[in-house]
């Protein structure tokens, strides 16, 4: 009887230790999810002490923002990804993808408190084909009195077939770093935002939008829908067609 009591006590203490030590994405609290999108609350106190020194001194939450402005902010973002084809220049999100989650993200931004930030995960398959993979993008979102800030982790990370239909599988993402990283993919600069400076260097996964300039940030309609993605899938299925990608807009010339 005594042994059973001590075993239960040790197990409870162990579980408490796991919860209390959880930080960052592991400390998330689910706010909303569906089959392809999820938002979570992450309390500022649950990021590591070093990461907390990188964050703005104070958040300005909740935030009221329209679905259209979410499309304006996210819709023009491109990223550079090294590959065997060269340096690919791709959109971070598809237009339809953003429109699918914009309402829920706008609602989530009005629910977070001053000591919290949002963790956002979007899963999408632009081709909606049985032979194509879903991809996943994750980022932190926070607001200050003067800025809207995004910190990206995975960008268009391919999800394994046996994981993409199960929320508990596709929603598990690695920790998002507030440091400068050596990842091969990063956001390409445009006129709508600045990169956060970390230790004297631009963090090309941490985007800072000035709230005073948001009125001039407009979604730019795309000329060819999913052209780059289609080329990528065609090349994967037919290696002899890989050279065709050099003729598209998706290749960055050195």
Tell me: the pLDDT tens digits for 11-60?
343 343 443 456 678 889 999 999 999 999 999 999 877 777 889 999 99
pLDDT of residue 181: 84
Average pLDDT estimate for 225-240:
48
Is residue 246's pLDDT more than 60? no
- Give me the pLDDT at residue 226, please: 52
Question: How many angstroms separate the CA atoms of 147 and 130, rounded?
Answer: 40
In this structure, what are the phi and psi dihedrals at residue 167, rounded to the nearest 5 degrees? -55, -40
Contact 86, 246 (CB under 8 A): yes
What does the pLDDT average to over 234-242?
45
- Residue 19: the pLDDT is 39
Among 74-83, 122-131, 225-234, 238-247, which range has the highest average pLDDT?
Answer: 74-83
Distance CA 203, CA 7 (A): 47
Over residues 183-208, the mean pLDDT reads: 94
Q: Dihedral (C-alpha) 211, 147, 32, 114: value to the nearest 10 degrees?
A: -120
For the chain, how big is the Rg over CA atoms in Å?
A: 20
């Amino acid at each position: 009887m005594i042994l059973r009591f001590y075993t239960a006590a040790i197990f409870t203490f162990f579980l408490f230790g796991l919860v209390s030590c959880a930080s960052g994405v592991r400390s998330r609290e689910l706010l909303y999810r569906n089959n392809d999108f999820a938002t979570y609350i992450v309390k500022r106190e649950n990021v590591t002490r070093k990461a907390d020194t990188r964050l703005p001194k104070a958040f300005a939450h909740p935030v009221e923002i329209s679905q259209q402005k979410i499309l304006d902010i996210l819709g023009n973002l491109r990223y550079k990804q090294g590959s065997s084809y060269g340096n690919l220049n791709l959109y971070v999100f598809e237009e339809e993808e953003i429109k699918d989650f914009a309402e829920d993200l706008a609602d989530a931004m009005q629910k977070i408190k001053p000591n919290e930030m949002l963790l956002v995960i979007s899963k999408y398959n632009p081709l909606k084909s049985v032979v194509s993979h879903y991809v996943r993008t994750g980022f932190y979102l926070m607001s200050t009195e003067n800025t809207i800030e995004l910190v990206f982790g995975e960008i268009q990370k391919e999800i394994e077939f046996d994981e993409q239909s199960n929320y508990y599988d596709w929603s598990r993402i690695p920790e998002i770093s507030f440091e400068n990283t050596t990842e091969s993919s990063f956001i390409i600069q445009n006129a709508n935002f600045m990169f956060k400076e970390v230790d004297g260097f631009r963090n090309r996964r941490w985007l800072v939008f000035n709230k005073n300039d948001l009125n001039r940030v407009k979604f730019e309609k795309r000329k060819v829908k999913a052209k780059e993605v289609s080329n990528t899938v065609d090349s994967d299925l037919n290696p002899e067609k890989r050279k065709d990608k050099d003729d598209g807009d998706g290749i960055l010339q050195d």
